[in-house]
């Protein structure tokens, strides 16, 4: 009897061990946990486990309720004004009264007390805004603040305990990573639509329109986006907000494979400023730049190929005070690699005026680093820089040197040292222009220009000579 019992127990143990071993063999075969492969001579470890294939159900279900439908009503003035009754009858010009037209977009709830982020172009010029939640509740919304430079706006509804999407980190997005676009393509009936795609590119920009200054460093995806998706959410596999869908590139006006989103790292700071201050407090480095290339490197005879080539540094700017010079190549800001001018814009836009950052750059083949304290973007006419130049509507001006006066054959004047974004540039001022008269009064130093400008009620008229000595003049209004 004992022999039979021992035999049975031994057989059971052997069978169990065999089954476990077979199971582990097949499990290892099925998992293919890690495969090492050569890519352009480089070796990378690629995880091919089944659990790494994208399951987007959690992200979709957790994020969809925080994406809303935004209906916008705009009052449009009739360009013809009051129309003659005969013209109305024969030509259908209408009665000349203002008309209302509707548009729509999407928005993302970012705070449970009703704050919603959307695109500026969705709510611009709106006379009425209505927000419909995924549960069909409709609220009237008000605009808290807008930022046309990044195409971000904040609106608010009177509600509490709303679902929100946690904000992620758009800098950590990887090419080929799966993302979801959530919004209301083509209107109310398709609200809460979810589409999937991958990150196709980062740091994209689009051709400027109407010469407007824009900060663009878009996330490009192939998730289907159409008119009405503007202001909707771009989320990662974790259900985190990584971007706000804002534009498509298409020859037809409908989705053709290319959609673009404002990175959430830009949205975070813009939204915080708009909620706290009603306007954006934008940091400014004070440089003119271009993405570095081998062609530029060869022409300028510097060794760095990656990074951003500095074309000009504004006198008195944050970059100037930190010691950055024309011809430097910036390649890193606060640990983030800077490969394009769009990436530099995005990174600088993540700071506030007064914040400090470590900037690494290449100068004549030597690696250097400096700490920069960012300045504000606000125009502070009359501010005196360390070199004695004075801020003047986006430009900097300084009493013309004796060498400049002699070269141009003039006795006195105020030289334009640099020209940045602002009214001077818009009016046609250029570097090297020498101001001789402001509102018909002669000027000899920067303080004269400032004093005469302050005395003017509405407009400023400037006469002088350009860098080649040719007479020129321009003007601009003081009111915004």
> If we measure between CA atoms, which residue out of 58, 44, 262, 38 comes closest to residue 178?
58
Cα–Cα distance measured from residue 107 to residue 115, given in angstroms and rounded to the nearest whole number = 10
Identify each DSSP E strand in 266-352 by its residue range.
Answer: 283-284, 287-291, 308-313, 329-333, 336-337
Cα–Cα distance measured from residue 260 to residue 456, given in angstroms and rounded to the nearest whole number = 45
Decide if 340 contacts 291 (C-beta within 8 A).
yes
121 is catalytic: yes
- b/e string for 308-340 if b means 16 or more Cβ within 10 A? bbbebbbbbbbbbbbebeebbbbbbbeeeebbb
> If we measure between CA atoms, which residue out of 147, 151, 134, 145 comes closest to residue 191?
134
Catalytic: which of 121, 334, 377, 448?
A: 121
For residue 163, give Cα distances in angstroms to 62, 63, 71, 114, 160. Answer: 9, 8, 20, 9, 9
Catalytic: which of 170, 217, 230, 418?
A: 230
For residue 2, give Cα distances in angstroms to 8, 15, 195. Answer: 10, 20, 68
Cα–Cα distance measured from residue 282 to residue 328, given in angstroms and rounded to the nearest whole number = 23
158 Cβ contact list (under 8 Å, min separation 6): 114, 139
Q: Which residues pair with 56 in a beta bridge?
A: none
CB half-sphere exposure, 202, CA atoms < 13 A: 21
- How many CB atoms are closer than 10 A to CB 304? 21
441 is catalytic: no
Cα–Cα distance measured from residue 225 to residue 196, given in angstroms and rounded to the nearest whole number = 10
Identify each DSSP E strand in 216-364 by its residue range.
Answer: 218-221, 233-235, 241-248, 259-263, 283-284, 287-291, 308-313, 329-333, 336-337, 356-363
Q: Which two tokens stand for residue 197?
A: 């795609």
38 is catalytic: no
Known catalytic residues are 121, 151, 230
């Amino acid at each position: 009897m004992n022999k039979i019992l021992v035999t049975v127990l031994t057989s059971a143990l052997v069978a169990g061990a065999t089954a476990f071993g077979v199971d582990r063999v097949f499990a290892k075969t099925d998992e293919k946990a890690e495969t090492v492969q050569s890519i352009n001579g480089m070796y990378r470890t690629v995880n091919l486990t089944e659990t790494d294939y994208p399951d987007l159900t959690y992200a979709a279900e957790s994020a969809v309720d925080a994406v809303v439908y935004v209906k916008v009503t705009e009052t449009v003035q009739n360009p013809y004004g009051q129309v003659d009754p005969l013209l109305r009858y024969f030509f259908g010009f209408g009665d000349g009264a203002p008309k209302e037209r509707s548009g729509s977009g999407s928005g993302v709830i970012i705070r449970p007390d009703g704050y919603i982020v959307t695109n500026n172009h969705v709510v611009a010029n709106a006379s009425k805004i209505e927000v419909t939640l995924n549960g069909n509740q409709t609220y009237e919304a008000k605009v808290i603040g807008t930022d046309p430079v990044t195409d971000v706006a904040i609106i608010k509804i009177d509600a509490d305990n709303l679902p929100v999407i946690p904000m992620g980190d758009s800098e950590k997005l990887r090419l080929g990573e799966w993302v979801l676009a959530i919004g209301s393509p083509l209107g109310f009936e398709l609200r809460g639509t979810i589409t999937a795609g991958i990150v196709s590119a980062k740091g994209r920009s689009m051709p400027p329109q109407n010469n407007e200054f824009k900060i663009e460093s878009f996330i490009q995806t192939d998730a289907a986006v159409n008119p009405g998706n503007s202001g909707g959410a771009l989320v990662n596999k974790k259900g985190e907000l990584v971007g706000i869908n804002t534009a498509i590139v298409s020859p037809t006006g409908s989705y053709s494979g290319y959609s673009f989103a404002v990175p959430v790292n830009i949205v975070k700071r813009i939204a915080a400023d708009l909620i706290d201050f009603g306007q954006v407090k934008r940091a400014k480095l004070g440089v003119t730049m271009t993405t570095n290339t081998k062609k530029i490197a060869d022409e300028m005879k510097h060794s760095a190929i990656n990074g951003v080539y500095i074309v000009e540094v504004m006198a008195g700017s944050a970059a100037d005070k930190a010691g950055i010079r024309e011809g430097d190549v910036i390649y890193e800001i606060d640990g983030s690699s800077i490969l394009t001018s769009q990436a530099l814009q995005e990174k600088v836009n993540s700071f506030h005026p007064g914040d400090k950052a470590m900037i690494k750059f290449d100068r004549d083949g030597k690696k250097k680093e400096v700490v920069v304290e960012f300045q504000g973007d606000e125009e502070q006419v009359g501010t005196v820089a360390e070199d004695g130049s004075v801020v003047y509507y986006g430009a900097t001006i300084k009493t013309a040197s004796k060498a400049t006066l002699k070269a141009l054959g003039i006795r006195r004047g105020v030289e334009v040292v640099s020209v940045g974004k602002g009214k001077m540039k818009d009016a046609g001022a250029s570097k090297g222009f020498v101001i001789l008269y402001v509102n018909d009064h002669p000027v000899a130093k920067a303080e004269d220009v400032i004093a005469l400008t302050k005395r003017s009620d509405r407009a400023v008229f400037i006469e002088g000579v350009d860098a080649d000595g040719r007479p020129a003049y321009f003007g601009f209004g003081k009111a915004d």
